[in-house]
Amino acid sequence: MKIISSVEDLRDQLRGQLRTAFVPTMGNLHEGHLSLMRLARRHGDPVVASIFVNRLQFGPNEDFDKYPRTFQADVEKLEKEGVYVLFAPTEKELYPEPQEFRVRPPDDLGNTLEGEFRPGFFGGVTTVVLKLFSCVQPRVAVFGKKDYQQLMIIRNMSRQFALPTEIIAAETYRAHDGLALSSRNSYLSAEERVEAPMLYRILNEVADEVRSGHLDTFELEKKAMAKLAGRGWKPDYVSIRRRSDLMPPCAGDCAHAEPLVVLAAAKLGITRLIDNLEI
């Protein structure tokens, strides 16, 4: 595996490649990330991964400096997966001057759910992803469904900018007890790790209620949040949305089997977990 830190060297290395498959990450890799690499290989060749902790997507109350950096361990994992190039730029390389030009998602998609609780987050994500796409110029790029809203925003950005990059969605990779794999899981205490799968179980309960014909989505959301709170969680939201645009469904949507998704974010101790389930 070639480890490249300069944009110029990356472009030289990939020149003439027409089927590049790309997986952007912030490092601290786990099995969920590695499953994205395997999916990328099925859709293109060579496979390029990136590791870059993007300051632009960290809010004022989120500690950029404390984000776990496990570069050597990440390199070993990517080598075992047969990744061709790891692009690992420094901050100075990717942002050689202040990044004054930014991508701003539309308010109705970027300022709801995660965007409401993490203002500016999606602007930081879309800006760095567009810049990474410019560097790598992939034919396909793989993103996980665990970050459902992020996936939709990036897919819409790619379409509206007519980027020559197809966005591939990867199913959420889960532990045996249903917990979605996340770098944040390492912050959970032993007791919290036992409790953490409850978030996914509650999503399943909500989904079952919707499938059984329960049309009052507000009541279902309120009940789910109360159950989490009763178990010591601090929920930000449990929300049933249309898959097509992440807008709240109307009664007709539920009655006519509009494809839906239920999304949740909640703190367990100091660890904020997110998850979702398509209905």
**For all residues of the chain together, what is the average pLDDT?**
96
Q: Is the pLDDT of residue 258 over 80?
A: yes
Predicted pLDDT of residue 66? 86
Q: Which residue has the higher pLDDT, 251 or 16?
A: 16
Q: Which whole number is the average pLDDT over 57-69?
A: 88
d(CA 180, CA 32): 9
pLDDT per residue as tens digits for the range 65-79? 888 899 999 999 999
Q: Structure tokens of 15?
A: 């020149």
Catalytic residue among 30, 33, 214, 256: 33
Do the strands 47-51 and 234-242 form a parallel or antiparallel pair, or are they unpaired?
A: unpaired
Q: Which residue has the higher pLDDT, 34 or 252?
A: 34
Given pLDDT bands bounded at 50, 70 and 90, which one contains residue 193?
very high
User: Is 43 marked active-site?
Assistant: no
d(CA 40, CA 23): 7
Predicted pLDDT of residue 202? 98
d(CA 185, CA 177): 13
**Considering just the CA atoms, what is the radius of gyration of the chain in Å?**
19
Q: Structure tokens of 93?
A: 């390389």
pTM of the model: 0.95
